[in-house]
Amino acid sequence: MGMTITEKILADHTGKDKVRAGELINAQVDMVLGNDVTAPLAIQEFERIGVETVFDPDKIALVPDHFTPNKDIKSAEQAKIMREFAKRHAIAHYFEVGRMGIEHCLLPELGLVMPGDVVIGADSHTCTYGALGAFATGVGSTDMAAAMATGEAWFRVPETILFVYHGQFTPWVSGKDLILYTIGQIGVDGARYMAMEFTGEAIRGLSQDARFTMANMAIEAGAKNGIFIPDAITEDYVRTRAMRPYKFYTSDPDANYAQVVEIDVSQIEPQVAFPHLPENARGISGVGEVAIDQVVIGSCTNGRIEDLRIAASILSGKQVAPDVRLIILPGTQAIYLEALQEGLIETFVTAGAAVSTPTCGPCLGGHMGILAKGERALATTNRNFVGRMGHPESEVYLSGPAVAAASAITGYITSPEVFAGKGSRA
């Protein structure tokens, strides 16, 4: 019996010829990640271990992105703990405001995570890097501390569900729509502690940015990781970014899958997830007229240049509805600059949007767009739990950037076809 891509990567990082689902292993890690919410606790636990320094200062990344630019004294203190730890241990990959980005946009952009890697991060959306063909998963702060000291992490090798996407895309459907639809089909616990492997002819034509979006939300189905078989699109993305050697893995034809799910993308229209779970997804034609107060375009899910281009194509020459606050969050400084050079920022500002420096901000109810009681937001973020973006009696709806941009113009959740006809997909 062969192995899945997830099993192969884990086997190589344990020094074994084979691993099987359910096996407990210790694996070497290629990158350990923390942010301004999780890293300070990990640093505290690291100090209690009693080692002199980290296992490898080039394999740790500290990204203050959740409450930065510092929103208050407490967040400033959190960032200071990270900054001083990075200096004390000569950690090169510490990213200060002005040079940082949202962590899961920044690390791939800089070539710090590569195909074939094992990556752990004290953030649940670390699974994003599976879009490159890496095994990447979120861990707690104590596991991050142990990995910073030892260079290893323990896992139970996950079973794998294979998702096979067939057919031709309908207009405006993107990676966000595929993953929302998929989560809607299997539920928020449908892949609990399993690998979600994405494949099929529809996936082979999907852009790298759209793949990041899909892998990012694997955790919203309870998955341990989401992963793509790397291909020419992956190679094109990593070739000029790679900071070190990388390896493409693939799944064996006789690999063992717990389940195979086949999906016809031609039956999928732009999706909207209703409160208060990502599994509450429905096609745009079944949404009805849902009035909104705020639209957020960005985050580690949809803050990449392709997302901004899609939003700008709809907003160009139009105005945000008077009762709507449109907040746009480019994923990194480089994405921000690229959007500026392409004229996208001018399009957003002219339309009446507020454009922010990279930050997670409103996604986690941190700052830069908190909701009041009774308010509704439509966001390209990844979660819409109760109170996720502010008051527990507010509501968050999830969509891709096309639906979000169209809705900002009308003031209610709207299909992009209203403004842009057939359009294109991510």
Tokens in use for 280?
């509450």
Among 268, 100, 255, which Cα is nearest to 180's? 268
Average pLDDT, consecutive stretches of 10 residues, N- to C-terminus, the chain (426 residues) = 96 96 97 96 94 96 94 95 96 93 96 97 97 97 97 97 96 96 96 97 94 97 97 96 93 96 96 96 95 97 97 96 97 97 97 96 91 97 92 97 97 91 50
Run of H or E residues at 220: none
CA distance 412 to 378: 9
Domain boundaries, the chain: 5-263, 271-420
CA distance 11 to 283: 40
Among 293, 413, 411, which Cα is nearest to 362's? 293
Helices (H), 94-206: 103-109, 141-150, 175-186, 201-204
Q: Is the peptide bond before 104 cis (omega within 30 degrees of 0)?
A: no
Same fold, 5-263 and 271-420: yes
Whole-angstrom CA distances from 191 to 158, 179, 188, 293 are: 10, 13, 8, 33
- Taken as a whole, the chain contains a residue count of 426
For 5-263, which CATH superfamily applies?
Answer: Aconitase, domain 3 (3.30.499.10)
Contact (Cβ atoms closer than 8 angstroms) between residue 113 and residue 229? no
CA distance 403 to 389: 19
CA distance 102 to 68: 10
pTM of the predicted protein model: 0.94
**CA-based R_g, the chain, Å:** 20
For 58, half-sphere exposure in the C-beta direction (CA atoms, 13 angstrom radius) is 3
Contact (Cβ atoms closer than 8 angstroms) between residue 347 and residue 263? no
CA distance 88 to 137: 27
Match 């969509």 to its residue by tokens: 399
Task: Name, in order, each residue with C-beta under 8 angstroms of 23's C-beta and a sequence gap of 6 or more.
Answer: 156, 157
What per-residue confidence (pLDDT) applies to 421? Answer: 62
Tokens in use for 109?
């952009």
413: DSSP letter: -
What per-residue confidence (pLDDT) applies to 243? Answer: 85
CA distance 380 to 319: 19
Tokens in use for 20?
């099987």
- State which CATH number among 3.30.70.260, 3.30.499.10, 3.40.50.970, 3.40.720.10 fits the domain covering 271-420: 3.30.499.10
What per-residue confidence (pLDDT) applies to 1? Answer: 85
Run of H or E residues at 398: strand 395-398
What stretches of 107-174 adopt beta strand conformation (E)? 118-121, 135-138, 152-156, 159-166
Phi-psi region of 390 (alpha: psi -120 to 50; beta: other; left: phi over 0): left
